[in-house]
Amino acid sequence: MLQSILGIAVLLGVGFLCSENRSQISWRAVVGAFAIILVVAGFVLATEAGADVLLAVSNGVGTVFNYGTEGIKFAFGNLVNFSVDGIGFVWALQVLPQIIFTASLTSLLYYMGIMQWFVRIIGGGLQLVLGTSRAESMNAAGNIVLGQTEAPLLVKPFHRVLTRAQIFAIMVGGLSSIAGSILAGLAGMGVGINYLVMACFMSAPA
């Protein structure tokens, strides 16, 4: 735990020292982001209700991934069946199709307008608590399910008026989050879905 706290302090210190205009740093956003992360982590890890919510969300995400897995089995048969002797883990067959499936599903939800509704709710909450701009908040929310390439398209109308600081925040937000398609790939490699889901939501304020 001490090592983690030290790491956070070092990263904040490096960011502060590298800042071009330290007087303009929004400490409300910094403190608010850490507060959100601590509240989410505490709710999920220390309360029964939080654990139940995380379990329900993880089961839902896992069910969607299972649908993708069944489609992969239908397409490739025993090539993705671990019970068959001589057939081991093949990334191109077990993980890559799952990434394609999840990316396609995300695009469909975006086309139907469901993704925008989700992003507006999360982004509005971040903007209210952190005091960040609408573009930064919506992009951070979009990074929960979209990738670094797709999320900035949510704020395309703002691109011409973004400041250097806002552009930097948008790019860093993409690098510090897990896209839904990558989440599927990591889950296919054996990483626990509950930890991935929690990391996705906690990365938004970060």
Where are the domains positioned within the chain? 25-203
Contact (CB, 8 A) for 149 and 157: no
pLDDT band at 85 (very low <50, low <70, confident <90, very high): low
Mean pLDDT, residues 22-27: 85
Average pLDDT over residues 92-118: 83
Say how far apart CA 121 and CA 142 lie, in whole Å.
11
DSSP H stretches of helix in the chain: 2-18, 27-46, 48-76, 91-94, 96-112, 114-130, 134-142, 164-175, 180-188, 193-203
d(CA 195, CA 85): 31
Cα separation, 73 vs 145, whole angstroms: 25
- What mean pLDDT comes out for the span 162-177? 85
Mean pLDDT of 57-76: 85
Confidence bin at 87 (pLDDT 50/70/90): low
Residue with tokens 């800042």: 19
Taking residues 59-65, report their average pLDDT: 85
Does position 73 have pLDDT exceeding 80, yes or no?
A: yes
pLDDT-derived band at 10 (thresholds 50, 70, 90) equals very high
Number of Cβ atoms within 10 Å of the Cβ of 124:
14
- pLDDT tens readout for residues 113-122: 887 888 888 8
Give yes or no for residue 86 having a pLDDT over 60: no
Asked if 148 contacts 174 with a C-beta cutoff of 8 angstroms, the reply is: yes
